[in-house]
Amino acid sequence: MSLPARGDVTASDWDDRLAAVFADPSLLRLVFQPIVDLQRGAIAGYETLARFSTPDGRRSEHPPDLWFAAADAVGRGAELEAVVVREALAVLPTLPPDCFLTVNVSPHLLTQPELSEPLLAVDDLAPLVLELTEHQAVGDLRPLVDLRDRLRARGALLALDDAGSGYSGLQQITQFRPQLIKLDRALVCGVDGDEVKLALVEMLGEFGGRIDAWLLAEGIETWGELQAFQRLRVPLGQGWLLGRPGPPWAQLDPAVRDRLRHQAAQALLTDHVAGLAEPVLVVRDGETPPGALGVEVDEFGHPRWLLVPHRRGDDPPGHRRAPVSLRVPASAGLSEVAHRVAARPEETRFDPVVCVDAHGAALGIVRVERLLLQLAAARAG
């Protein structure tokens, strides 16, 4: 394996930088990002992340994954990951009650003594979660599976990263039977506006339930994405929207907590459109960013126009300004709304439905395809 190249950093530079870290482990420090229970609005755990510094005290300009790749290239990957594991084990006793701590390990390195021995030396590893962070092929799985069983006997759990990124990821799930499945970030980004991604997440959730594993959506950055995962009953979430990496043990911002709980309560209203309502950009001047769906309102917040983005490739690009053809209260039943949707003129039949509060102010929109899917699921159930 060759050393990773970046800018003017040479193989000799990496040798020097890695040697400095091994000589002074304080050049590697840990930060912890909250993992949140999306239904309760409470922190369920933390992910351990590494940050590197130079001997003169400056933060390294190279991302952590490049450091670990460089160490692996010179045969010291297990040794560097072991530094992180030892520090994580040291703070494990200070973890808040009812929380778990994840730490990243590479499957092809985990069986090497430098990495496995610090873990096996601990009689009780709970509530540590070992996160397998890559899908590099492992020639002989038997030693890894044997080690997995020994670690589980000590209370450790297993997580698998990047689920949904391809067939190899699905193979890893069947081989290692993790207790935690982290969704690939490509599935998380923009999930609230992509029915294919929503269907795949739903499928992985059902699969996870069959093998007694929980889904974790990583990289959540918008409230729309978060609400989509709440509607699909994804139990755990992580991302800058919920909390950034920092010292142990950051608490959930009260405003974020309250909004989480409010959205979770809405998502439980599966018989009402409130459970399907998505946040929408509310505008007063008709100006909407490209590609964004908007609702233009009057001075009282009452919806007047839908600003529907043109399909990709349409000429000219921009938005279609359409009258709001259907507005419904949040308490409206799904069947009632579906009948009203079907009664609309053909040209507006599949326009989003605007959900309003008791005073008629816009709360969000309900996509017709989501309404139909929810009705179909209820009928199948």
Predicted local distance difference test score (pLDDT) of residue 301: 83
pLDDT in tens, 117-136: 999 999 999 999 999 886 56
- Buried/exposed 75-111: b ≥16 CB within 10 Å, e otherwise: ebbbbbbbbbbebbbeebeebeeeebbbbbbbbbbbb
Stronger pLDDT, 139 or 338, i.e. the higher one: 338
Predicted local distance difference test score (pLDDT) of residue 160: 87
Q: Looking at residues 234-248, what average pLDDT do you find?
A: 95
pLDDT in tens, 11-49: 677 888 899 999 998 999 999 999 999 989 999 999 999
Predicted local distance difference test score (pLDDT) of residue 293: 84
Q: Looking at residues 61-69, what average pLDDT do you find?
A: 90
Angle (CA) 294 295 299, round 5°: 135
**Structural domains of the chain ordered from first start:** 11-268 (3.20.20.450), 274-380 (3.10.580.10)
**Does the pLDDT value for residue 170 go beyond 70?**
no
CA separation for the pair 217, 1 (Å, rounded):
32
Q: Is it true that the peptide bond before 249 is cis, omega within 30 degrees of 0?
A: yes
- Of all helices (H) and strands (E), which one includes residue 334? helix 334-342
Q: What is the pTM of this model?
A: 0.71
DSSP code, position 221: -
Q: Looking at residues 143-147, what average pLDDT do you find?
A: 89
Predicted local distance difference test score (pLDDT) of residue 6: 47
